[in-house]
Structure 1
Amino acid sequence: MTVEDFIEKLEGWINHAVDQDDKYAFQDPAYDLIEEIEDSKEAFDFVEPIFHLIERSPEIDYGAPGPFGSFLEKFYHKGYEEKLIDSLKRQPKEYTVFLLHRLSNDTKNPKVEEYKKILKSFEN
């Protein structure tokens, strides 16, 4: 499956979930689809496109952490953090702020203070 095919399917499910006002119309099929790519050698190639998808999508309940968070966090200390910060700089969303909050809970991470500072910038 190409990254574009993957994102197109996810986008369709997000739109359907919004139309139906049913988060599970997205979450359930997304878990299955993400399972297909998790173990591939190119799995990290899906990280940034997922962030772009979140940025342009309407706010829905993606889960806590849900299929996206579960997948993205597999790349913790492997480039995920930088992609998340880039996404927050481009188009912060409630969900990506939530993911940053999770990062800021890791007191052993040498960048935890940076994450907390960025997180504070989103507090109202």
Structure 2
Amino acid sequence: MVNEVEDYIYELEKLIALADQKKDKYLFIDPAYEIIDEIEELGNVFDFVEPIFLLVERSPDIDFGGPGPLGSFLEKFYHNGYEDILVKSLQRKPKEYTIYLLERLCNDENNPKRKEYCTLLDSLK
């Protein structure tokens, strides 16, 4: 599975570089949906959550979509470990996109950690 994770992350990384170079977010977004569809057919897809955050951390601040293919995939793990990995990513290297994902957590009035997430968001602005 590790090789699969690395291979898929590498493919996403190439798309990010192309979208950044050509200044066209759809060169990432459209094919990334197809890659995410492939990932979702694999065994333990949660293994991709942290590598995707690491990918975003080392990527240029492109428009990944709102939430786009990555966010749509990651948010499937909401209430199942996604939030903790997002917070760790923000502590390591906050990016526009991960801050946006945190804002989405703050919008959930039923989340018991909402105040904690909003405090973190305020500290990043």
- Give the TM-score of the pair, scaled to structure 2: 0.96
Amino acid at match of 1:87: S
| Identity %, equivalent residues | 59
Cα distance in 2 for partners of 1:92, 1:68 equals: 16
Q: What are the within-5 Å matches in structure 2 for residues 59-78 of structure 1? A: 59-78=61-80
Q: For residue 71 of structure 1, report the CA deviation from its aligned partner.
A: 0.2
The list of structure 1 runs, each at least 4 consecutive aligned residues, that deviate by more than 4 angstroms after superposition, is: none
Matched residue count: 123
| Alignment partner of 1:30 is 2:32 | yes
Query: What are the ranges of 5 or more consecutive residues in structure 1 without an aligned counterpart?
Result: none
Which residue number in structure 2 is paired with residue 46 of structure 1? 48
Give 2:99's aligned residue: 97
Alpha-carbon separation, structure 1, partners of 2:59 and 2:113: 28
1:40 aligned partner, one-letter code: L
Which residue pairs with 2:120 in the alignment?
118
Q: CA RMSD in A?
A: 0.9
> CA shift at 1:39, angstroms?
4.0
Distance between the aligned counterparts of 2:8 and 2:99, measured in 1?
Answer: 24
